[in-house]
Amino acid sequence: MAKTKQQKQSQIDGLTEGIKTAKSVVFANFQGLKVSEMEELRAECREQNINCMATKKTLVGRALKDAGMDVDTKIYQGGVAAFFGNEDEVAPAQIVAKYAKSHDVITLFGGILEGSYINADKVLELSKLPSKHQLLGQLVGTINAPVSGFVNVLAGNLRGLVGVLNNIKEQKA
Q: Identify whether residues 27 and 47 lie together within a single domain.
A: yes
Q: Identify whether residues 86 and 96 lie together within a single domain.
A: yes
Asked whether the whole model's pTM tops 0.75, one would answer no
Question: For 19-22, which contacts have Cβ atoms below 8 Å and span 24 or more sequence positions?
Answer: 19/63, 19/64, 19/67, 19/69, 19/84, 19/112, 20/67, 21/84, 21/86, 22/51, 22/84, 22/85, 22/86, 22/112
Q: Identify whether residues 111 and 37 lie together within a single domain.
A: yes
pLDDT digits (tens, 9 = 90+) for 50-91: 888 888 888 888 888 888 887 777 777 778 888 998 888 888
Q: Identify whether residues 32 and 76 lie together within a single domain.
A: yes
Whether 117 and 110 have beta carbons less than 8 Å apart is answered as yes
Element (H, E) at 125: helix 120-127
Domain range holding 152?
130-173
Q: Identify whether residues 85 and 23 lie together within a single domain.
A: yes
Can you give the CATH number for the domain in which 106 is found? 3.30.70.1730
* Whether pLDDT at 25 is above 80: yes
Q: Identify whether residues 119 and 173 lie together within a single domain.
A: no
Domains identified in the chain, total number: 2
